Amino acid sequence: MPADIAIMAQPLAVALHAVRGAEAKAGARIAVIGLGGIGSLAVAACTAQGIETIAVDVSPARLDIAKRSGASVLIDASQEDAAAAIKRATGGDGADIVLETSGVPKGLETAMNAVSRGGHIRLVGLHRDPSPLNLTRLVLDEIRISTSKVHICDQDLPEALALLNDHPEIATTSIDAVIDLEDVVTAGLMRMAAGEADGKTIVRLPTSDPR
């Protein structure tokens, strides 16, 4: 496997771990909120398993990545109420599973409002500040909340490599830029800090001199 494909196994393993823990199966109505590096890979992982997804973000570029990753419904949360749009896309019921990968309060609010009765919210994004939850609705509608942290090496990494072997386009679709080590600050970290990176940034290490 080419190195520029195999290098995406680790972030894909994170996405696979999140999808597996959500107990997602074909036919389930799944919404992915936040289409950064992990969110877009979660869409791709679902697509490869025959699971349709609803993709939500505020970035047209990230929505385009989700489209190329196989999302069946695209929702621009900067242009419309994402929760209402998810309910329309699911016939008014809401999503059976919501993967919250944005890590922002608005994403969690959307997840709470968009999940179906008896549904499952899977928290993947890191929420750095305390966020209020409507505990009454969680109880009355029997909504489950679970969390997903990184991956299990001997379980998720082999599956990620196998998936990349069968679907190398997952890697190429999710890569935002390939940069040299000398450019890691200006073309890498600064772009990420400014929110300008729409996918994963790969750093190309200098090759050793054979002499």
- Stated as kind and residue range, the H or E segment containing 159 is helix 153-166
Average pLDDT over residues 147-170: 92
**pLDDT-derived band of residue 209, with 50, 70 and 90 as boundaries?**
low
Say what the pLDDT of residue 37 is: 86
Say what the pLDDT of residue 179 is: 93
Say what the pLDDT of residue 56 is: 98
Contact 117, 142 (CB under 8 A): yes
**pLDDT-derived band of residue 208, with 50, 70 and 90 as boundaries?**
low
Contact 64, 88 (CB under 8 A): no
Say what the pLDDT of residue 163 is: 94
Higher pLDDT, 199 or 60: 60
Segment 88-134, tens digit of pLDDT: 999 999 999 999 999 999 999 999 999 999 999 999 999 888 888 88
Q: How far apart, in whole angstroms, are the C-alpha atoms of residue 61 and residue 54?
A: 16
Say what the pLDDT of residue 174 is: 85
Q: In the predicted model, is pLDDT for residue 210 greater than 60? A: no
Q: In the predicted model, is pLDDT for residue 14 greater than 90? A: yes
* Residue 188, token pair as written in the block: 């890498």
Contacting residues for 124 by C-beta, under 8 A, at least 6 apart: 14, 18, 38, 39, 42, 99, 100, 101, 147, 148
Average pLDDT over residues 23-38: 91
Task: List the single range of 9-13, 97-101, 191-195 with lowest mean pLDDT.
Answer: 191-195
Q: In the predicted model, is pLDDT for residue 199 greater than 90? A: no
Q: How far apart, in whole angstroms, are the C-alpha atoms of residue 83 and residue 66?
A: 18
How much of the chain, in percent, has pLDDT values that exceed 90? 74
- Least Cα distance to 52 among 90, 9, 4, 78 occurs for 90
Q: In the predicted model, is pLDDT for residue 159 greater than 80? A: yes
Mean pLDDT of the chain: 92
Q: How far apart, in whole angstroms, are the C-alpha atoms of residue 47 and residue 66?
A: 10
